[in-house]
Structure formats: C-alpha cells, structure tokens
Amino acid sequence: MADIILLGAGRVGRAIASDLSKDYNLTVADIDIEALSQLKKQYPLEISEADLSDRKQLTDLIAPFDLVVSAVPGFMGYKTLESIIEAGKDVADISFFEEDPFELHQKALENDVTVVMDCGVAPGMSNMILGYHNNEMGVQHFECMVGGLPVKRTWPYEYKAPFSPIDVIEEYIRPARLVVDGDIITKPALSDAEYVDLDPVGTLEAFNTDGLRTLLQTMEVPNMKEKTLRYPGHIEYMKMLRETGFFDREPNKVNGTEIRPIDLTAKLLFQEWKLEPQDEEFTIMDINIKGIENEKYVEYTYHLYDRYDPEEELSSMARTTGFTCTAVARLLLNKQFQNPGINPPEYVGADEECFQQVLDDLEARNVIYQVNQKSSATE
C-alpha cells in the first residue's frame, strides 16, 4: 500500500483526507494541531504537527513518502512546491498560487518529478475538459461559468466563502484576462455582467474573473473566458466596496494608525461570509465548448451541480475540489500519468484514458458532470 503525505488540514484537505485514507497509508501534516487532531478522530490516518514554511523541516518530513499532495494556502504554494520538487517527489497540488508555475518546469525535469498543479474544480476540471476536447477537435470557443453559493440566501451579501475572504476579494480586484479572436485582452474584474438561468438554481449573475490561468499559455483557442457566478445583486455590492476604496492595498492612516483597507474589509467580511461546517451550500459550473469535429460544427455543454454532504459534513466546494485532486493522485500513484515537469490539468485531460478515469472517480463519489452534445453541418 502506497504511503502518501497530505500537506494541509484545512477544509479541502479534510475532503482529500476522507478519500485517500480509505485506500492508502495517509499522513496529514499541518501547523494546526487542533485541525489535525480532529482528522485523526474521524479517519484512519497519521498526523504530523509541522511548520510547512520551514524548508528543511518540510524536506525531512516528506522524504519517506511515495507521493505528496499539497493543499497549503495559496501564499505558501509556490515555495512549498519548489521544496517538494527539490526533494524529488511527485505531487498533486491544489494551492492555487499566483506565481507562474512554469518557472519550476526545468527544476522538475532535472529532478524527474511529475507535478500536476491546480487540481481542483475551476481551475482543475474545467481545464481537463478543455484539454480533452482540444485534443479531439478544433475548439473555437470555450466559456466556463462557475460559483460556490449558500443554499440559504441571507441579506445583504447572499454569499458564504468556502475559503478565505481575502482570496475571494482578489477575484473582485484582479483584472480578468480573456482571449478574443486570438488576442489576450484585459478587462476589469466584475465586468460584462449578465444574467444566466441554470438548473436547478434559477437566475444567477455572471461576471468576468481572471480564471483562465495556464490556459492562456497552453491552449491555442481563439476565444476563451471564465466568469464567476453569484446571486443577483452581489456585483453591485462588490463594485460599491471596490470603488469606495475598501479593497485598496495601500495603507491609510486612521487616528495615527496605518491600516490597509483590504485587511479591515476582509476581517469584517469574515463574520458575514464565514461558512460554518454544517451550512448547506452548492457548487455550480457550466462549460460551453464549440468548434469543428469530424467536419461538423459541434457544441458540448458540461453541467455540474453538487451539494453539501450532510453525512460526511463536507462542503460541496471541498468535495468537488478535493475529489478531483484525489483522482489525479491515483493517476500518479498508478503510473497512469507520467510526464516529468509542470503539468496543468489540461495536460491530464488531453490523455483520454486519464480524463475518463477522473470522471469515473468523481462519479463514484457522486460528483457528476452532465454532458450534452449538439452538432450541425455548418455553424
């Protein structure tokens, strides 16, 4: 039985632990002993209290293991991944760091390490789906709409954050990169707002966010965009806060004390947006792919609607993200995907057998993507 170490005992880490501990010898490492102890009570695994930001401690910690799964916070992700690569360990990573992962490609090659990063739902499965179809057809258009929302809508924000509020705020301030007619263009976050009707939720609003990430470098698709989904009205609240300066990073002096507005806003929103362990929420994603396949104009639609699991007390966002990661971890352990270097999820999706295995693994865990296809002689 393979030995795996999971770095990070947060919300998504817990979903990963719940799955991998059933089939492998799993150790979970984190600096938070309380979170580790809770996992130890729930699942058959070992725990290790460790400062994962300490490079030597991390290197010594992961040395005995066959595979590393990294679920550390985004601000730690790049340096953690660099340490894992230098230690010569294959890794499935969901830390969603801001830095360019391809800067570590040569180092991964030199250490003969296969890295699959962004192993979540979006980025993650959205990339795999495009990677698969890009290998099968001439894709002309790719659009992904995705969001995680509470079932109960509570004034004023009608929103709960499945991860840190400051990471959510980043979606509202970072310029969004899109591909239009083959050119990468930049638009403000929260722009191009539109209403969309998606089953079984009903009307939601969608807006531009910077979610294409590696697809901007790896896919030669002439039109690509990602939009985030929220309940109607949310955009206006966020624009008001942004334009008033509540998301600013430059310090302001208030009564002699300097404070960054974004830090205060995140602290205040934490209580409003905090997702409690038993709060029911859902993940919804709609992907549209159009192009030429076998000399016909074809349109594929993938639809995901997943809800909180009350039996395991796992949030939907943790399930849809974590179980995608565990599916990739199994591919790496079984040597089904071996490609030394940095591999975004679209590289995994380009392998038909790997793509189908990920879909099968997710369906076995009741994370189901519904697929529809339409075709015509011409566009």
CA distance 189 to 6: 33
**Does residue 121 register a pLDDT over 80?**
yes
At the topology level, CATH places domain 125-307 in Dihydrodipicolinate Reductase; domain 2 (3.30.360)
For residue 377, what pLDDT is reported?
Answer: 64
**Mean pLDDT to the nearest integer, 163-182:** 89
For residue 378, what pLDDT is reported?
Answer: 58
**Does residue 274 register a pLDDT over 80?**
yes
Reported pTM: 0.94
Average pLDDT of the chain, as a whole number = 95
The tokens describing 220, both together, are 């030669």
For residue 168, what pLDDT is reported?
Answer: 87
**Does residue 179 register a pLDDT over 90?**
yes
Do residues 312 and 348 touch, judged by C-beta distance below 8 A? no
User: Which residue from 350, 325, 326 is spatially nearest to 339, judged by alpha carbons?
Assistant: 350
Bridge partners of 31, per DSSP, are: none
pLDDT tens-digit profile of 198-243? 999 999 999 999 999 999 999 999 999 999 999 999 999 999 999 9
pLDDT tens-digit profile of 124-170? 999 999 999 999 999 999 999 999 999 999 999 999 987 777 878 98
Using left for φ > 0, alpha for ψ between -120 and 50, and beta otherwise, residue 255 falls in left
Owner of token pair 């002309």: 140
Half-sphere exposure of 251 (CA within 13 A, CB side): 7
Owner of token pair 């729930």: 42
CATH number of 3-121+317-367: 3.40.50.720
Radius of gyration of the chain (CA): 21
Domain ranges within the chain, ordered by starting residue: 3-121+317-367, 125-307
| DSSP codes of every residue in 302-331 | EEEEEE-BTTTTB-HHHHHHHHHHHHHHHH
- Judged by DSSP in three states, 276 sits in coil
CA distance 64 to 233: 51
Half-sphere exposure of 85 (CA within 13 A, CB side): 27
CA distance 90 to 70: 11
CA distance 123 to 120: 6
**Does residue 379 register a pLDDT over 60?**
no
